Structure formats: structure tokens, C-alpha cells
Structure 1
Amino acid sequence: MHIEGLRIETAEKEPTYSEDGIPEIRAGTKAVIRLFGTGITPDTLITFTDIPAERGTVCDKIKSNEFSVIQDFQIRTYETLLPFWLTIIIILVCLSFSALFSGLNLGLMAIDRTELKILVNTGTETEKKYARTIQPVRNHGNYLLCSILFSNVLVNSVFTIMLDELTSGIVAIICSTLAIVIFGEISPQAFCSRHGLFVGAKTIYLTKLTMLITFPLSYPISKLLDVILGEEIGNVYNRERLKELVKVTNEYNDLEKDEVNIIAGALELRKKSVADIMTRIEDVYMLNYNAVLDFETVSEIMKSGHKGHMAFVQRVNNEGEGDPFYEVIGLVTLEDVIEELIQAEIIDETDVFTDNRSKRKRQVRQKAPTDFTMFAEKKENQRIHISPQLTLAMFQYLSTTVDTFKPDIISEPILRRLLKQDIIYHVKVKSREKAKTDPAAIIYQQGKAVDYFVLILEGRVEVTVGKENMMFESGPFTYFGSQALTANIGIAESPTNANPQTVGSIQSVNLDSMLRHTFIPDYTVRAVTEVFYVKVKRSLYLAAKRASLLERRQKDSLPGQEQFDDEVEKVAISYIKKTKK
């Protein structure tokens, strides 16, 4: 027997070593010592001494008990159970299943049961198909979760063990960790977070098989979770959360801004009281009980703005020492309720300029309400006055029916100014027989040039047309001589080259005013009863047309309102003065 060396395998207390490398063990403690040498058999007895001696001499200075050899040191070889190629296949399959289960864990569990119900009813055809496929499995939330997690842990463990068969322990740990994190967790979860519905539907049979295989473990644990955590009912939104959900997803859904406001308004309507939306009583437009509903009063009502179905808002006033009483504090209309529902101001043709609560000017406004009170004003420069109703009717008729007075040619403010001029004429006729011979009854003479337009307001006129002297009668709101206002035939007083680009501009109006215009009617218009009519001369019409063009030009540069009014007045007055000269 020949001992080559020894090594301390284990000891009750960690051994120490001297400077020359000799191990030191505390006396009286147990230790396992591995001996290296030749000729050692299971029957060999070992003792220790502290007296050095030459090899081959008898050692009679024994200092310890005898110890038998437990087992001799041997080297053995073994082969793996599975071939290398099969091990690689199993590793790849396990990694694939790890990725699948990890993705399903996020993809299926992230799909809320409420969301699935919504997709079944409102999704696209593909989404409806996928949602109907997943819904029966997803309804067993905890059972599905336990099955997926058990399966995922199982394949990850098999993957690590099989990898350890190919490499050392540390390499297996590092490689398995990186592979599982990158290919088994991050990649599938990133994909399934966006396409979980598709993946879940396409792998539904594999999911059901997994649930069946893991049933003995998954089902009892899932029932325990159901008892502890309660039934899974999905996301439930209250009013505030539902309103906020619509707002924060507005960037990604297909809802218009108005639709979002309507939804928000409907959800908040229950919390509103009439005091929140009413018009305060001090802001309500009211009439005296004895007020007469004449033209001026009706005009004031229209100017103030329309209010629809309405109710007075009262509150119990118990302030002071007297008995409580009802106090009217405001007015609420059906329009106010609808505005609160749709979260927007309803702007109609007679609405007022400011909000009834905030007193701020409304940003969106299609057209300001017409101020009809101006038609009730007395015109000092008119020799003949007509009723405000007739003036309003004349304005509406000219601006909507007669092409030469429509707003695209003569603006409505300028037309109102024009109608304030001395353009009303009156023909007094005692009888029809005398009207036939009265020269004053003739408004238009056949074959005689004229430069004015006529609109009949009241009374009857007789019209004789052509060489055949065809006769017919006309009544109120028939007009004649619109051709006299447009330059269809004329001779220029000074040579001027008209540029086609100036048509419809101030230059074209200036050119038109330089022509000696001639309109010769082929008919005669004679009053047969008392007649009131409007007579607009061509010079006055051209002044209004020029003023309208200036108005549009100055509106583009946003002038001050007073400056704009002054300019329009100057243009109209200058043309009128030229006409009188």
C-alpha cells in the first residue's frame, strides 16, 4: 500500500492551513478525509501518528484510533438517456410551448370579459368570430390562468433540465435564463399584447387540451381562488370613469368631438339642476303686462332673441322673520336642457349674442339676428312715409327676389340705407276713368327713355304692352325697369378701355357711371287706383353698388366699425350730390 496524499472533504468546523500547507482540524471533531494512493482496499485500516519516519519502517507510535476505508475512489462513465438530436428537438419544442403559454397568459387574461361581450356584439366580422371562440374558455378565468401557468412552469423546467444534459450547470442556467426571457417571455408577450385575440382563437384547441391535462391540479386551485377572490365580472365603469374613458380614447376612436360632448353631457345630466342651467331673472327680457303688440314691440322681442318652451324657476325664500315664500329666480327653457345634454350652444336665426349663464360671447355664430327696429325709425328725409311693416316687406322682397338687389350685389346694410332715401312716391287717382287721361298717373311711357326702377307697394296699375296694346293689371310687389339699372346699351363720355378683370370691381362701377344709359320700355305702366311705389334711380343704385364693394374691401382689412360707417356714408352722399347737380 502506498499513500500519495490526502484532502479534507468535510469537517464540523472549517479547517485551516499552516504556512507550509498542512491542514489543521480542531481536536475532538469529526471530519471526512479522502486519501489518494495505491493498494487501498475495503479491508485496509488507517491510523495516524505525529512522529515522522522513513517509508518502509515499522510505525509503532500510533496516536489515533483505527479507521476503516468506507469506499475506494473510482471513475465511472455513463451515456445520456436520449440521443443528442432528440434532446435538441425537445429543447426547441419546450421553448416554443414556453413562448405560447407566456403569450396566452398575457393575451387571454388581458382580454376582459366585458370587452369580449362588446366585441361579440359590435366588432368586425373577424373580431366577432374570434371573440365567440374565446369567450367560453375565458369565462373560466382562474381555471384558465392556473392551467396556463402550470404548463408554462412545466415546459420551462423540462427545458432547463434538458439543457443541463448538454452543458455544465452554470452554462445551462445562463443559457436557459436568456432563452426563456427573450424567446419565451418578452417576444411572445409583446406580440400577444396587440394580437391576443387572434392568437387565442387560433390556439383554442391546444388551450383546451392543456386545461384537460392539468385538470387535477388546476381545477381545485382555481375553485379555491374563486372562493377567496370572488367571481370575475370584468371591468365595470361608473359615470365618471365612462366619461373619462371616452375622452382619453378620443384620439384613437372614430368619435367626433360633438359626439364626445353629447356623451359627456348625457352622463352628467342626472347631476344637473335647473338652477345650474337657467337664465337669471334679472337677465330675462320681459314686457309690461299692458304692452301693445305693435310693430315696434314685436321688433324688440325679435331683437332680444327667441326663447322656446319655458318655465319659471322658483326657490323657497325663508330669509328674515316673515313666512317663507316662493321667489322667482330665473327662467329655464327646453333649449337650455338640450344644450346641457349635447354640451353645446344652440345657435338659431333669432338667438342672442351671449351665453345665458357665463355672459361670454358665443364663438360660433352663423348670422346675427336682424334688427327689425330700424324699419320702425322715422325717415326725416322722406316726403312720403309708409308703415314699418311695409318697409320690412319691401326690404325682404328686394333682397330675395330681385336679382339686382340681392346681397351678392347690394349688401343688406347698404340696401337698408338706400331704402331710407327719398324714394317713395304716391299717385292719387280719383277714378279709373280719370286715370286714363291723367298724365300724373303714368309711371312708365312706352318708347320714352327712363333711368329708374319701380316697385309697386300698394294699389293697382294697368300695363299696356307692344304694338298690339295688350293690357293687363298688376298689383302690389310687381316691379318694372330692372334693365334701367344695368349698363346694357350706352355711349362713353370719355374714352376708356375696360379691362375684363375689373368687372364686378369699383373700377367697373366707375365706368358704368360714365355711360349715358338709355332704357326704352316697350310698355306703359299707368296707375288706375291710388298707388304707392318705390322709384330707384340708376345713379342712386350705382352709389349703393359702389358702397357695397367698398364695404367688402374694408371688411377684409377689418376696419373699425365707426370708420366703416363713415366711409359708406361718404360714398353714398357723394353720388347723391352728383345726381342732384
Structure 2
Amino acid sequence: MAVEYRCCGTGFFLHISIIALLVLFAGLMSGLTLGLMSMSLVDLEVLAKSGTPSDRKHALKILPVVRRQHLLLCTLLICNAAAMEALPIFLDSLISAWGAILISVTLILLFGEIIPQAVCSQHGLAIGAAVAPFVRILVWICFPVAYPISKLLDRLLGKGHEALFRRAELKTLVDFHGNEAGKGGELTRDETTIITGALELTEKTARDAMTPISETFSVDINAKLDRDLMKLILEKGHSRVPVYSEQERNIIGLILVKNLLSIHPEDEVSVKNVTIRRIPRVLETMPLYDILNEFQKGHSHMAVVVGQNSHTVEHSGSELPTDGKHQFSPE
């Protein structure tokens, strides 16, 4: 009669229902542990601000739950462990001890671990947002036990806030998002070049970006703007041309090519008789961001890079470094 009661009575179906609920509950806790804990705060904040409308909605629901990561982790693990420990107890009332162990392990492995984690790894954002209110209730229920453990973890391991990408990591991430990387990225080559260049500015100085004076085009201050020189200037295609005195290393200023449009080559006007703009000088160790800030003021778009131990000589009433070895221009 006892066996018949277990198989056919209402208690049997009650035990089956409880077992099914425990397996589903354990699976949900296991899946959320993987789904929610695998998403960093940085990822969620990015999705909340710039994701698709559905991703923004989901991320905003999840963020308050995930911010205290150790408390959430302890809550999910406590609930998962409680469900798994309770499962053999209800199975043991239906079948033998060995059968209870075998069935509980099978159910937990298949429906409590593999399937939930596989689903939550793909749809963790949507599932986490859907059950966020339920998780808050669990956090409140498990708070007396989970909170002390989470505080201990905070003290031993830190609060678990994800660090932002380092500069080198961010550059690699940008490269991966380039459409030439073969990974389905949407950034064009020009966009990745600009972003990478901006990230590198902090680490580079004027010496890293300068063009050697031997590779630049400049004109002598005493030269005549005849037909040959005017043709050469036009062929070079520069909007600004440095002007030197006596030797190419002694850059004293620059002329704007557009100002030469009104000059007739037949007049052979001397370069020193046209407007020569002042060209700033920067140390070779000056950071590129500082140079860019100077250029943005609008005073110049070109500078001469000089060494730290440069000497000066009198020329045209102003002191100028004699070892203006290189020219730098962002154009």
C-alpha cells in the first residue's frame, strides 16, 4: 500500500511538481550566474547609452541589480546550492537513494547547468532584464547570509568594478571593428586611422611626427619669384612654404602660396618683399597634443622643431634658433 501511495497518490504528483520547480529554479540561478556576471558594468553602461532601443531598455533594468556584483553572485550561488541540495531529498521519498542520486545528477547537469547556461550565454541580456524584479526579491531574502560574504569578498578582492580599456587594448578593439579586419566591423579605413592616430597623440612628441628638413621644400629669402620658382612652388602643391636665410636649417618664417597669386613672374619680386609670416618653434620633446592645441588657436599650421640645446643668433631683429632642423605640419 505504501508503494502504491507513492506511485498513485496526490503526494507523488506534489513531489514531482516540487522536483520540477527545483530543477527549473536551479537552472535559472545557474544561467543567471553566467549571463549576468559575464556582463561588465562598462558593457552595460555602453548598451544603456548607445545600444539598440531594446538593448537600452534591458541594460537599464539590469544595471541596478549588477552594480553590487559580489552580493548578486552570493545570492545566485546560495539559491542554486539550496535548490540542488533539496532535490535529492524529494527524490529519495520516491525512489531508492542510488536512483535519487543518479536522477538528481542527470537533471541538474542537463536542465540545471548545460541548457540554462547555453541559453543565457546567448540571450543573457533579455532574460536578465525579464527576471530582474525576481532577482531583487532573492537578494532581499538572502541578504542576511549573502551580505556578510559579499563584504568579505569586497575586502579581499576589491569591489569588482571592471576597469576601462587600456589605450593599447582600445586601439586593438578599434582595429577589430575596421571593415578590413574581416570581422564584420563597420568602421572604414579612414575612421580607424583617425581614431588610432588620436589615441597615439598622448604618447608621441614633436620628434616622432616631424619631417626632416632635408625632405621639405623651402625657398631662400633672397630668391627671386621668377617664372621658374613660381612654377616650382605650384608643382609642389603646398599651401605654405617655409622661408630660410643663408642655410636651409635656418627657417625664419613662411609664405602663403595664395598671397603669390597677385605677383607677376616678370617682375621677379624678391621673396623678402612679400609677406613672411612668423613660424613658431617647438622643442622636439613637446607632446603632440600641446602642439595641436597651439595650432587650434589659429596662429599657425606649421612649426619648426628644434633641439633642447639649441643656440640663437641675431637675424632680422629677432633671435632665432640656428638648428631648426625639421619642419612639422599637420596638413
Please tell me the residue identity of whatever aligns with 1:130. Answer: H
Cα distance between partner residues in 2 of 1:198 and 1:287: 67
35, 49, 52: which one aligns with 1:121: 49
Separation of aligned partners in 2, 1:232 and 1:113:
10
Aligned position for 2:208: 276
- Determine which structure has greater relative contact order: mean sequence separation of CA pairs < 8 Å that are 6+ residues apart, divided by chain length: 2
Q: Which runs of 4+ in 1 moved over 4 A?
A: 76-82
Cα offsets for 1:429-486 (capped at 9, x unmatched):
xxxxxxxxxxxxxxxxxxxxxxxxxxxxxxxxxxxxxxxxxxxxxxxxxxxxxxxxxx
AA partner of residue 312 (structure 1): V
- How far residue 173 of structure 1 moved from its aligned partner, in angstroms, is 2.1
Alignment partner, residue 331 of structure 1: 327
Show the 5 A alignment for 1:500-539. Answer: none
Find out whether 1:215 has 2:143 as its counterpart: yes
Instruction: Report if aligned partners of 2:177, 2:187 keep a CA contact under 8 Å in 1.
Output: no
- Map Cα deviations across residues 116-152 of structure 1 (whole Å, 9 max, x no partner): 2222211222111111111111112111111110100
Structure with higher Rg: it is: 1
Partner of 1:262: 194
Aligned counterparts, 1:50-89, within 5 A: 83-89=11-17
Q: Does 1:313 align with 2:305?
A: yes
The match for 2:84 is 156
Measured after TM superposition, the shift of residue 218 of structure 1 is 1.0
Amino acid of the structure 2 residue aligned with 1:123: G
The TM-score, its normalising length taken from structure 1, stands at 0.41
Report the TM-score when normalising by structure 2. 0.71
1:105–1:145 CA contact under 8 A, matched in 2: yes
Equivalent position of 1:414 in the other structure: none
Q: Does the 8 Å contact 1:120/1:127 carry over to 2?
A: yes
Cα offset, 1:326, TM superposition: 5.0
Which residue does the alignment assign to 2:97? 169
Aligned residue in 2 for 1:31: none
**Are 1:317 and 1:326, in contact at CA under 8 Å, matched by a contact in 2?**
no
Q: Give yes or no for contact 2:23–2:83 (8 Å, CA) kept in 1.
A: yes
Please give the residue correspondences for 1:120-139 in structure 2 after superposition, counting only pairs within 5 Å: 120-139=48-67
Q: CA RMSD in A?
A: 2.4
Distance 1:263 1:164 in 2: 63
Measured after TM superposition, the shift of residue 248 of structure 1 is 2.8
Deviation at 1:92, TM superposition (A): 0.9
Which string of whole-angstrom CA distances, capped at 9 and with x for unpartnered residues, describes residues 470-522 of structure 1? Answer: xxxxxxxxxxxxxxxxxxxxxxxxxxxxxxxxxxxxxxxxxxxxxxxxxxxxx
Following TM superposition, by how much is the alpha carbon of 1:290 offset from its aligned partner in structure 2, in angstroms?
2.2
CA distance in 1 between partners of 2:107 and 2:4 (Å) = 28
SS in 1 for 2:33: helix
> C-alpha separation between the residues in 2 aligned to 1:175 and 1:332?
75
Partners of 1:98 and 1:82 in 2: CA distance: 24
Give the letter for the 1:154 counterpart: A
Written as runs of structure 1 = structure 2, the 5 A alignment for 1:358-369 is none
Give 3-state SS (helix, strand or coil) of 1:198's partner: helix
1:166 is paired with a residue whose SS is coil
The answer on whether the counterparts of 2:305 and 2:328 sit within 8 Å (CA) in structure 1 is yes
The aligned counterpart of 1:565 is: none
**Partner of residue 205 from structure 1, selected from 115, 121, 133:** 133
Q: Which one has a larger percent helix, Structure 1 or Structure 2? A: 2
Q: In structure 2, what residue type is equivalent to 1:178?
A: T
Which residue of 225, 229, 233 maps to 2:153?
225
The 1:275/1:77 distance shift into structure 2, 3 A limit, reads: closer
Aligned pairs for 1:431-580 (under 5 A) are: none
Deviations along 1:280-306, one digit per CA (max 9) or x if unpaired, are 111222323322112221101122331
1:312 aligns to what SS in structure 2?
Answer: strand
Task: Show the counterpart of 1:241.
Answer: 169
> Residue 100 of structure 1: CA displacement?
0.6
Unaligned runs of 5+ in 2: 241-300, 311-320
Contact 1:316–1:327 (8 Å) recurs in 2: no
Spell out, residue by residue over 1:313-347, the C-alpha distance to the aligned partner (whole angstroms, 9 max, x if none).
Answer: 211468xxxxxx85222111131xxxxxxxxxxxx
Change in CA separation of 1:317 and 1:223 when aligned onto 2, cut-off 3 Å: closer
For 2:37 and 2:10, locate their aligned partners in 1 and report how far apart those are by CA, in whole Å.
Answer: 37
The question of 1:285 aligning with 2:217 is answered yes
Which of 38, 63, 88 is equivalent to 1:110?
38
**How many matched pairs?**
254
AA partner of residue 256 (structure 1): T
Match runs of 1:371-450 below 5 Å: none
Task: Give 1:301's aligned amino acid.
Answer: I
Alignment-mate amino acid for residue 248 of structure 1: F
Structure 1 unaligned regions, length at least 5: 1-75, 319-324, 336-581
Structure 1 contact 314–327 (Cα < 8 Å) conserved: yes
